[in-house]
Amino acid sequence: MPRGLQLGWLQEVWQGSTGGASRSRTGSLFAVSAESSGTTVTFVIIDEWVVTVASVGDSRCILESADGSLYHLSADHRFDSNRDEVERVTAWGSKVGQLNVVGGPEVGPLRCWPGGLCLSRSIGEMYVGECIIPVPHVKQVKLSHAGGRIIIASDGVWDDLTFEMALECSRGYPSDIAANRIVNEAILPRGLRDDTTCIVVDILPPEKLAPSPPTKWQGKTVLNNMFRVDLKNNMFHQKNQMHLLN
């Protein structure tokens, strides 16, 4: 893709995702539930060999290319791991710190006060204030024609697995089985404690693509043809038997 078109595409994706997130916050139906709750968002657009990822929150996305290189395609908007976001929120006038138990030490992850949210960006969580924004982090990479593997997972996976562990336990397996293995590996040590969701997508060159399963219509055609063959064979055997009897 020419660089000019690539930059234009990236800008359009950023504007579309940002505008969509902002409009969702102003919708009347959304505003009711978003007042006291929220969610993370990570979506991936694959256009031939160009991968574009827009993310809000801590549902992370990684990519392993065919040569083994690892790319972080999302940002982590938790205060504990993003100093830039701490500075942005405090500059807005909010405070960032741990939970202060009366008469005891501060405990737990860094949070935004008032509200106590651990994330600096979210869809919803409007009770915290305008410092929590829905503006996504957008990143775009172009793969070689050898392809690669994308793993998208919620924080319930990444709290227990490193990126390398997720790749290692799923390597060599088809995408659907790989996703199951990653989730199982994440919940094995301490059980299911949080939202633990994983999607694995393989970007493969045409010569490595698995054949598509037959459609419902194609499946019926195959069965009909099989029955026709069996019917013809039965009729042939019946005629031969009648000929022998005569």
Residue 131: which region, alpha, beta or left (left: phi > 0; alpha: psi -120 to 50)?
alpha
The fold of 3-73+133-208 is Phosphatase 2c; domain 1 (3.60.40)
| pLDDT at site 212 | 52
Q: What is the pLDDT of residue 207?
A: 75
Distance CA 75, CA 61 (A): 8
pLDDT for 126 equals: 78
The amino acid present at 211, given as its one-letter code, is P
- Name the most confidently modeled range: 14-28, 156-170, 193-207: 156-170
Average pLDDT, the chain: 81
Does 60 have pLDDT greater than 50?
Answer: yes
Query: What's the pTM?
Result: 0.74
What is the largest distance, in Å, between two alpha-carbon atoms of the chain? 107
The stretch 9-21 carries a mean pLDDT of: 64
**Which of 201, 198, 199 has its CA nearest to residue 186?**
198
**Rounded average pLDDT over 165-187:** 95
Amino acid of residue 30: F
| All residues at 6 or more sequence positions from 54 whose CB lies less than 8 Å from its CB, including other chains | 13, 14, 17, 41, 42, 43, 136, 137, 138
Structural domain spans, the chain = 3-73+133-208, 211-246
